Amino acid sequence: MNISWIAIGAFFKKAWVWLKEYWQLPFLIAYTLIMWVFFRSKANNAIEILETTKDSYKKQIEAIDGAHKEEIAKRNAIIEEYTKIIEAIEKEYDLEKKALETKKKKEVKKLVEENIEDPKALAEMISEEFGFNYTGTE
């Protein structure tokens, strides 16, 4: 029985020396356990708050993405409408330009036929009709 008390005493002496040398480790373990017991209910609340924040963040991102997609769709519709209007205007312009050119050709032909005998009068009429400056060369 003496041997076991001697062994136990030696163990405690060694433990005491180790504890004096490395006291930070047991202190840190004890501190961690105390904090865990004290704050574990608050940790669950913090986790719930983090999850709620995460859900709110996801909803905000989805709302932003939805608004962005809607803006892109509206922009594309406006661009498409703009393109159609421009094409219609260009077609109308081309038709009117051709009609005007045809009309001018007919008028010039008519003037030439009416004044074939008097080139000077023809030149003056063409300059008046179409805005040219006739200087007359003799």
| C-alpha distances in Å from residue 137, one per residue of 7, 108, 113, 124 | 140, 20, 22, 12
pLDDT 10s digits, 14-73: 988 988 888 899 899 999 888 888 777 777 777 888 899 999 999 999 999 999 999 999
Are the beta carbons of 19 and 26 closer than 8 angstroms? yes
Q: Which two tokens stand for residue 124?
A: 């003056």
Q: Which two tokens stand for residue 8?
A: 């136990």
